[in-house]
């Protein structure tokens, strides 16, 4: 199993540009999550999904959108990137009774 | 709001000694706790978990202790090795789909 994979690994955007981060998992997990991690801070939940076709807001959802069209994929979109969105983004998945498995992260810089 | 906090942001331990990383939580309804290890440039990796009906759980070289009276969680690492150098996060769950993460403790092993 590949576990949780994320693409791309690195990206540099200019302010106002848009992009989509892709997360894929092959563990048949129901739940999927997008977090951001900033220096000196823990992981903060952006959006999450408890099943195909469902999404919900987390702690810091503003400026992001998500979609879960397929159970194995969870997309995170930035419609108009801002420098404050410079961060490392982690995707995770879990079963309802299990612990989160994390992807390797996407390092995003917004200039 | 409810949060998970750590007593110490950094910890330096001599190789071969035992390490103890502490975590305080404030939500008395939390019923599931996880410790994660994050190495530089990687995603968090599950170490050990514990449910609120237990006060101790042991893994390979790691032990998690839960004191519900004072809302305190600790991770003990026995015979610390250079590969244990990382940031350690505790996370709590209070009966829903989401985890709340602490800010992390950086563990440095002194040769």
To which residue do tokens 């400026």 refer?
A63
Radius of gyration for chain A, computed over Cα atoms and rounded to the nearest angstrom: 13
Burial B55-70 (b: 16+ CB within 10 A, else e): eeeeeeebbbbbeeee
Question: How close B41 gets to chain A, by Cα (Å)?
Answer: 8
Task: Give the pLDDT score at B4.
Answer: 53
- Percent with pLDDT over 70 in chain A: 100
DSSP 8-state symbol, B7: S
> In chain A, which residue's Cα lies nearest the Cα of B93?
A99
Task: Give the pLDDT score at B6.
Answer: 43
Which of B23, B43, B86 is best to mutate for the A interface (most A CBs within 10 A)? Answer: B43
The SS3 assignment for A36 reads strand
Task: Give the pLDDT score at A46.
Answer: 97
| A78 contacts A64 by C-beta, under 8 angstroms | yes
Low pLDDT (below 70) residues in chain B:
1-8
Tokens of B101: 């993460």
Tokens of B72: 């305190």
Chain A residues within an 8 Å CB radius of B92 = none
Tokens of A31: 């739940």
């Amino acid at each position: 199993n590949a576990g949780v994979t994320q693409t791309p690994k690195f990206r540099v955007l200019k302010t106002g540009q848009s992009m989509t981060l892709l997360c894929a998992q092959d563990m048949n997990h129901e739940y999927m999550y997008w977090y951001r991690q900033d220096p000196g801070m823990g992981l903060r939940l952006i959006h999450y999904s408890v099943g195909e076709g469902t999404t919900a807001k987390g702690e810091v959802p503003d400026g992001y959108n998500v979609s879960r069209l397929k159970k194995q994929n969870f997309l995170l979109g930035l419609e108009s990137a801002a420098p404050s969105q410079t961060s490392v983004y982690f995707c995770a998945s879990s079963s309802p009774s299990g612990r989160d498995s994390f992807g390797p992260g996407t390092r995003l810089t917004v200039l | 709001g409810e949060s998970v906090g750590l007593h110490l942001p950094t910890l330096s331990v001599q190789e071969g000694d035992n390490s103890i990383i502490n975590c305080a939580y404030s939500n008395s309804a939390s019923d599931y706790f996880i410790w994660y290890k994050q190495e530089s440039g990687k995603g968090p990796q599950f170490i050990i978990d514990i449910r609120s009906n237990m006060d101790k759980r042991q893994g390979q070289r790691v032990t998690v202790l839960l004191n519900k009276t004072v809302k305190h969680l600790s991770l003990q690492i026995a015979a610390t090795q250079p590969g244990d150098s990382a940031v350690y996060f505790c996370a709590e769950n209070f009966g829903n789909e989401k985890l709340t993460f602490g800010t992390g403790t950086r563990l440095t092993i002194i040769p």
